[in-house]
Structure 1
């Protein structure tokens, strides 16, 4: 990192770590100057330009931000992390337009995906098979149309949406609520490697930031901010997914919701959104038709056969997947007829190491044959 860029980076960190300044104030300040360095050098003029109060300027000039900013910079540079700054050409304009955009993002993977049209897909960690099937089918078809799927790297709906999108041309972006050097949840390490190599991982948080419930609403505004719209697939009334939907509405984004069985509490949030005016979605085409005016001309054609959500009848593995063989077929047979099976039990049944079984399960998951549950349990889809 050259001297000029280092100055810009430190100026962005100074704004972020200054007590009393928040994302909306950062945006006002940075929008008034040609660089972050010039913005912080002109802090004494902020009150006169109605960018910040005199009290905020005094707090900033006290240098209360310096220790945290220096620590973050040292940690990021030591790990050779790529930082995307407010004034960088690659900073996505759609994110810059939200009321409180981040001044700095850390990236791992294909940064060009930030320039793609995106759809956020969010939902419950403890989701139903119906929800998983919807995430897979809709995510795959939307991604096939050239739209990148953005989600939050959680288990359940997020994981399934990421995996489905990575199969297609649109690929996927994961927005974290932790530092870029942590894999959370740990069970998603296989997905982390896929996103690193074929997608993009993004976070606003400094290296070493551990999971904290207070961070996830901040993450959620970035998920919706990168996207043309947000699809809520399965969510309770009080859930992070509804926080993301609320952020989307504040940012002027489209909000889509998948209806579910009326007796499932995990769909009450979706039904609430629909009553409040969210667009009811049954297929990928419902979303693409709404977003098509905003999609780049280079995007692929929409799917000719929109996915329909079907039931999951109890078929024998050999009947349902006649192309399975070897360990893949043995895994399907071990899971058949059981609500869930831990990976350790599958290792014992097949007599294989956990790493080998994990790789085979990931392949089956991407083919929508199995689903991963919290705690490293698996089930047939």
Structure 2
């Protein structure tokens, strides 16, 4: 745990509006410098009197520092290059994210799948089927770890060997609902769990609409499977639309009360979808923004034997070792994912993300789960 980590915990604990604290971090460059700047700089950044008082008097809780000291767990602030690029573009992005699991997955192209806590059998089947298909297409699944559709989506993504991101509306160490404690541990071990709340924070009603903006913000688009007229899933959909992301809804029977929220979304302009391929096609343009941000974050250039690796059209490949290893593993004959993983040594999550970028760039074609270079 670094000095900046401890300083960031104090900034989070100050509470109140996040905007002034983000401005303070931008002005000072680091959390420790922000704390050292003192009350005049805090006020100049727009912090309120209660926030200034909290920075003066509030220390770091043993719960938060203990959680952060454990392996595989970290806090990522607004100042950090690992802060997800897509999330920076929402209204009122979080000052910091507490992360359990593989932080790189927060940069993986994802679709949010949300819906009612009391889905019908058909709704569960739809959530499971769309999740499996989107995972096969290289997309991750983001949701809120709630009962119902959220649980089905996370579980199906894990079962399919895909990426899943869980955003919780309480401390990251407080599973909610309690029945999902095992699922939270599994997502943290095989995917990633995030929260904007300090460890130890209990679940509160007002946290969940704010949690939904993170779900929407981390995702290229949001799919609502089933939702009643008054549903938190509709809040996620609205926040996704406000952030400029795509919103999709599944139609249902007019006799199903859990379809009425989806029908309302469709009337209001959401895209009606009947097939997962429609989502993949619609998200291709918006995924380019994430691709550009991801490339800027990737590693150092490779120094080859006097030439830069290029595709068949002569376009240079990104100077990332993993990207070039994967490119070398892809032949002109279609290869399944497991073969590409064996050849490249990459994880499923990393390879899936890069394969999607290659498809969007027109370098690779995918058919029936097999990949080949585009002629």
- What is the TM-score of this pair, normalised by structure 1? 0.70
Question: 1:288·1:302 contact (CA, 8 Å) conserved in 2?
Answer: no
Equivalence for 2:5: 9
Question: 1:285·1:302 contact (CA, 8 Å) conserved in 2?
Answer: no
Do structure 1's residue 234 and structure 2's residue 216 form an aligned pair?
no
Structure-1 separation of matches of 2:169 and 2:276: 27
Equivalence for 1:198: 190
The 3 A distance-change label for structure 1 pair 262 and 195 is: same
SS for the counterpart of 1:191 is helix
Question: 2:149·2:225 contact (CA, 8 Å) conserved in 1?
Answer: yes
Which residue among 50, 57, 64 is the counterpart of 1:59?
A: 50
Do structure 1's residue 37 and structure 2's residue 19 form an aligned pair?
no
Cα deviation code 1:303-356 (max 9, x no counterpart)? 769xxxxxxxxxxxxxxxxxxxxxxxxxxxxxxxxxxxxxxxxxxxxxxxxxxx
Question: 2:209·2:232 contact (CA, 8 Å) conserved in 1?
Answer: yes
Equivalence for 1:18: 14
Equivalence for 1:168: 160
Alignment of 1:1-381 (within 5 A): 1-2=1-2, 6=3, 8-18=4-14, 21-40=16-35, 41=37, 44-45=40-41, 51-52=45-46, 56-63=47-54, 66-67=57-58, 69-70=60-61, 73-77=64-68, 81-168=73-160, 170-295=162-287, 296=291, 298-299=355-356
Structure-2 separation of matches of 1:78 and 1:11: 14
Question: 2:14·2:58 contact (CA, 8 Å) conserved in 1?
Answer: no
Residue 178 of structure 1: CA displacement?
2.0
The 3 A distance-change label for structure 1 pair 303 and 192 is: farther
The 3 A distance-change label for structure 1 pair 11 and 97 is: farther
- What is the TM-score of this pair, normalised by structure 2? 0.71
Question: 2:251·2:272 contact (CA, 8 Å) conserved in 1?
Answer: yes
SS for the counterpart of 2:111 is strand
The 3 A distance-change label for structure 1 pair 254 and 127 is: same
Q: Any stretches of 5+ residues in structure 2 without a counterpart?
A: 292-353, 360-364, 370-375
Structure-2 separation of matches of 1:69 and 1:161: 35
SS for the counterpart of 2:67 is helix
Residue 133 of structure 1: CA displacement?
1.0
SS for the counterpart of 1:241 is helix
Residue 136 of structure 1: CA displacement?
0.6
What value does the CA root-mean-square deviation take over the aligned residues?
Answer: 2.6
Equivalence for 1:317: none
SS for the counterpart of 2:229 is coil
Cα deviation code 1:149-190 (max 9, x no counterpart)? 000111211111112212335410111112222222232234
